[in-house]
Structure 1
Amino acid sequence: MALQDKLDAFKADFEGGRLPLKPSREVLDIMHRATAELIASGQAQRAKRAGDAAPEFTLKDPEGRQVALRELLARGPLVVSFYRGVWCPYCNLELQALQEALPEIVARGASLVAISPQTAPNSRKSERDNKLSFPILSDVRSAVAEAFGIRFALPQELVALYQSFKNDLPTFNDDPAWVLPMPARYVIGRDGIIAYAEVNPDYTHRPDPSELMPVLDRLSAGKAA
């Protein structure tokens, strides 16, 4: 099943009250309104896009090791997936889909990292729960997300809703600010230039990992040439 089909099925179950957490119409209206406002803001169109230079970063993995973009690109192209956190079921479905696609990514000479604002223990939980074999990097205070243009502040009514769900982002992220990255996926070539960018302010929509393969094939062909 394609990733978006899985996301749509989960959304239908959630909004249809078929999961343990049964949202009211008011709750759904708040969530839909926040998404619509983020779309209307146009921020996704102002984020880094294909052809831009990728911002440099050095972040820690869950074991505290420093991971630098420059070192990753020395090995080959890099797929970067920004996600919201371990508490987000849509993100977890995407991570699982990326794990399934990892052998194809590696076969094309590329590597994969995920980036979220959450703390190392929560990243370890993401890796464990989703059976991941690629690293999750902690973007403290969402500084790298800001550099890519995808960091946004949650509206107050959504903050109150998340608090009622016990989605305590300041605790998850060790950051008093209620901010998140828009879900985004990038392919960065060895030259540091973004070859593919997909940013969606609607967190229930994610591109299928299969979209990465033609991009990685082109980068591989360019290297061979």
Structure 2
Amino acid sequence: MFTKIIYTFLFLVTISFNAQSTKGISFQAKNVEEAKILAKQQNKLIFIDLYTTWCGPCKLMKKNTFPNPELGEFFNKNFISLYIDAEKEGTELAKKFKIVNYPSFLFLDHNGELVQYEYGYYNAAQFLNVGQSVLEKRNTTKKTHTLSEVKGKIVGESIPDFTAKDQFEKTFSLSQEKKKTILVFIRGQWCPYCNKYLESLQNIAPELESKNVRLVIISPEKPEFIEKTVSKTKTAYSVLYDENYRIAELFDVLYTPEKKTLDFYEKHLGDNFRKSRSDESGRLPVSATYILDENQKIVWRHFNPDYKERASLEDILKQL
């Protein structure tokens, strides 16, 4: 009986330890090249903790700072994080960026270019400020297109794999769809034209099923606002949350409206517009429709900057 109690105690301790170890920054067992690919796919930056085994502050960062839950939530959402020994697999990085202080923190874009460099010991609150400043710098320097500049990916181009959660908390992965896939971009639940169009798409659901075609809706809005889309349109299709606009960027349909348009939306829609998306930049996707084949290649598209003009149901069915 005593032995059974001991085993039960050890089992519970193990569960507790594993639960705790999932908090904080999640460092991935990838090299820089793999991280660059992942960062591009997920529209994230790369964070590298370049450490040495003899460095005291390095050990303190690992023990006290990186496990912080709030810090972990922010970094795991916005960065691909790597933990690299500067004297082993990180020697080339140390040489390239002329590192002489440890720990050193490299913040890179998906091309491997330096966005920001820091070094030394930080507590969790301080390091969260560092991460936020890096993200702010990235967002302010990133080029945003106007509506007239956005052209959209064209027929014949292939789309890299992406994943996103739908309203059922299921993960959609483009590479796992071994069938034709229709992707419909909407602006949000506040857009009456989007809602009307989603309602009309229900009419072709039986034909899509008979042809083994998957249709998904891409929304820039957070899950609680996607619930409003589902409620208003009664759609049975998967509605994906395009967090950080990464899917819209992959299809080159993302733009920033003119200031007078943004002012109009914010005046009449308030939080329904301003607070509904990943940030408050006001960026929106063109209301485009794409059909991809089994190999993630675009075989047809409807791309019109006028949000009132949508792909007709007849044209969609003709391409299947």
Please provide the CA RMSD for this pair: 1.4
Question: Aligned to 2:187, which of 60, 84, 87?
Answer: 84
- Answer yes or no: is the 8 Å Cα contact 1:63–1:120 preserved in 2: no
**1:76-115 pair list within 5 angstroms:** 76-115=179-218
Partner residue in 2 for 1:190:
294
- Answer yes or no: is the 8 Å Cα contact 1:61–1:135 preserved in 2: yes
C-alpha displacement at 1:113, in angstroms? 0.3
Task: Give me the whole-angstrom Cα distance separating, in 1, the residues matched to 2:260 and 2:244.
Answer: 21
Gaps spanning 5+ residues in structure 1: where? 1-36, 217-225
TM-score (norm 2): 0.52
Matched residue type, 1:158: T
Task: Give me the whole-angstrom Cα distance separating, in 2, the residues matched to 1:202 and 1:164.
Answer: 21
For residues 49-101 of structure 1, what are the alpha-carbon distances to aligned partners after superposition, in whole Å with 9 as ceiling and x for unaligned? 11110232101112332211112x22x11111001000000001110111111
The number of residues matched between the two structures is 174
Whether 1:67 and 2:169 are equivalent positions in the alignment is no
Whether 1:43 and 2:150 are equivalent positions in the alignment is yes
**1:11-160 pair list within 5 angstroms:** 38=147, 41-44=148-151, 47-71=152-176, 73-74=177-178, 76-160=179-263
For residues 100-159 of structure 1, what are the alpha-carbon distances to aligned partners after superposition, in whole Å with 9 as ceiling and x for unaligned? 111111111101100010011111221122111111000012111011100001111111
* Structure 1 residues 146 and 214: alpha-carbon distance in aligned structure 2, compared to 1, 3 A threshold: same
Partner residue in 2 for 1:208:
312
Matched residue type, 2:173: A
- Answer yes or no: is the 8 Å Cα contact 1:115–1:137 preserved in 2: yes
Gaps spanning 5+ residues in structure 2: where? 1-145
Question: Does the residue aligned with 1:173 lie in a helix, a strand or coil?
Answer: coil
Task: Give me the whole-angstrom Cα distance separating, in 2, the residues matched to 1:146 and 1:212.
Answer: 23
Matched residue type, 1:56: D
- Answer yes or no: is the 8 Å Cα contact 1:52–1:193 preserved in 2: yes
> Percent identity between the aligned chains?
29
C-alpha displacement at 1:162, in angstroms? 0.8
Task: Give me the whole-angstrom Cα distance separating, in 2, the residues matched to 1:107 and 1:60.
Answer: 25
Question: Does the residue aligned with 2:240 lie in a helix, a strand or coil?
Answer: strand
**Whose helix proportion is higher, 1 or 2?**
1
Question: Aligned to 1:165, which of 232, 256, 268?
Answer: 268
Structure 1 moving runs of 4+ over 3 Å:
none
TM-score (norm 1): 0.73
- Answer yes or no: is the 8 Å Cα contact 2:266–2:274 preserved in 1: no
Whether 1:199 and 2:303 are equivalent positions in the alignment is yes
- Answer yes or no: is the 8 Å Cα contact 1:101–1:210 preserved in 2: no
C-alpha displacement at 1:174, in angstroms? 3.6
Task: Give me the whole-angstrom Cα distance separating, in 2, the residues matched to 1:205 and 1:163.
Answer: 23
Question: Aligned to 1:181, which of 274, 281, 285?
Answer: 285
Task: Give me the whole-angstrom Cα distance separating, in 1, the residues matched to 2:160 and 2:218.
Answer: 14
Matched residue type, 1:162: Y
Matched residue type, 2:309: H
Question: Does the residue aligned with 2:276 lie in a helix, a strand or coil?
Answer: helix
